[in-house]
């Protein structure tokens, strides 16, 4: 339980600072730090990340940094495809899932090291409006891909959502972070529903993990504007690479029981 509390706080801090990223560490934290089997870690991860993201978005709601309609379209498309990802997950060996998960972590780290594009595009017109003829298909397509990965790997998808919102939809970074947290809540809820029957969730561990994650996310969200975001992204990317290597080694040498 002590491990769950500490790891939950760390994941909440990442969510509060970056609007994502914490979710990519939740599965390995639950598998290797807490000792849950993968089948139980996936739904537990989605439960924790969804609730923590809901808490982390509160300060951004007050700042008006959420695009609700884009979040609804993106999240609804992802919610549907998350069930398809969960179906694929059930057909794969747990070791293969974790290795694939490590590959996604490396891709996430690389994205975080790259400088992100500027604002503009169909989803963020100069006057603050939206050209839905161009924005709608982009939102649906990006949502389907991210939702599938949510169901497959048991992650909220913030490490993919934020680049999609900034680079494809043209949202400003601050708005992308707030909108991402809403989408993570939607995707996590759908993914949890898809995986809930796979294994019994230890709600005691989940509760402890979630409480500290919420506390960490709220504290981090309050201080996020005072910290250098670019440096945080670089540090987090390096941390992701280390965790990805650890996951691959553990999966190859002693894969967890499914």
Res 72: pLDDT: 92
Question: Is position 258 within any domain?
Answer: no
Res 4: pLDDT: 64
Question: Is position 46 within any domain?
Answer: yes
Question: Is position 120 within any domain?
Answer: yes
Res 171: pLDDT: 82
Res 140: pLDDT: 93
Res 73: pLDDT: 93
223 lies in which domain range?
2-253
What is the number of structural domains in the chain?
Answer: 1
- C-alpha 220/C-alpha 15 separation (Å) is 8
Q: Helix/strand/coil (H, E, C) string of 74-95?
A: HHHHHHHHHHHHHHHHHHCCHH
Question: Is position 7 within any domain?
Answer: yes
**Ranges in the chain, pLDDT < 50:** 258
CB atoms inside a 10 Å sphere around CB 241: 17
Question: Is position 234 within any domain?
Answer: yes
- C-alpha 24/C-alpha 26 separation (Å) is 6
Res 256: pLDDT: 53
Question: Is position 243 within any domain?
Answer: yes
Question: Is position 138 within any domain?
Answer: yes
- C-alpha 9/C-alpha 86 separation (Å) is 27
| Dihedral angle of Cα 118, 164, 162, 180, to the nearest 10 degrees | 120
Residue pair 153/104 in contact by the 8 Å Cβ criterion = yes
Question: Is position 201 within any domain?
Answer: yes
Tokens representing 20 are 């994502």
Whether this prediction's pTM lies above 0.85 is answered by: no
Residue pair 71/139 in contact by the 8 Å Cβ criterion = no
Res 154: pLDDT: 66
């Amino acid at each position: 339980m002590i491990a769950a509390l500490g790891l939950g706080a760390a994941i909440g801090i990442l969510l509060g600072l970056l609007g994502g990223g914490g979710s990519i560490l939740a599965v390995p934290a639950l598998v290797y730090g807490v000792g849950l089997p993968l089948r139980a870690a996936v739904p537990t991860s989605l439960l924790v990340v969804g609730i923590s993201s809901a808490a982390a978005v509160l300060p951004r709601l007050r700042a008006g940094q959420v695009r609700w309609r884009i979040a609804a379209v993106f999240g609804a498309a992802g919610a549907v495809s998350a069930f398809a990802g969960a179906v694929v997950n059930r057909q794969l060996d747990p070791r293969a899932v974790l290795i694939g998960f490590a590959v996604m972590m490396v891709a996430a780290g690389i994205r975080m090291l790259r400088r992100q594009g500027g604002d503009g595009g169909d989803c963020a017109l100069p006057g603050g409006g939206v050209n839905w003829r161009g924005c709608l298909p982009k939102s649906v397509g990006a949502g389907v891909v991210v939702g599938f990965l949510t169901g497959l790997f048991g992650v909220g998808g913030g490490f993919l959502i934020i680049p999609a919102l900034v680079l494809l939809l043209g949202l400003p970074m601050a708005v992308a972070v707030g909108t991402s947290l809403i989408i993570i809540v939607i995707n996590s809820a759908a993914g949890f529903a898809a995986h809930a029957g796979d294994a019994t969730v230890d709600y005691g561990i989940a509760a402890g993990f979630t409480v500290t994650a919420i506390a960490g996310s709220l504290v981090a969200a309050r201080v996020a504007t005072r910290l250098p975001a670019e440096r945080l992204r670089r540090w987090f990317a390096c941390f992701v690479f280390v965790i990805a290597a650890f996951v691959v080694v553990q999966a190859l040498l002693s894969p967890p029981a499914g």
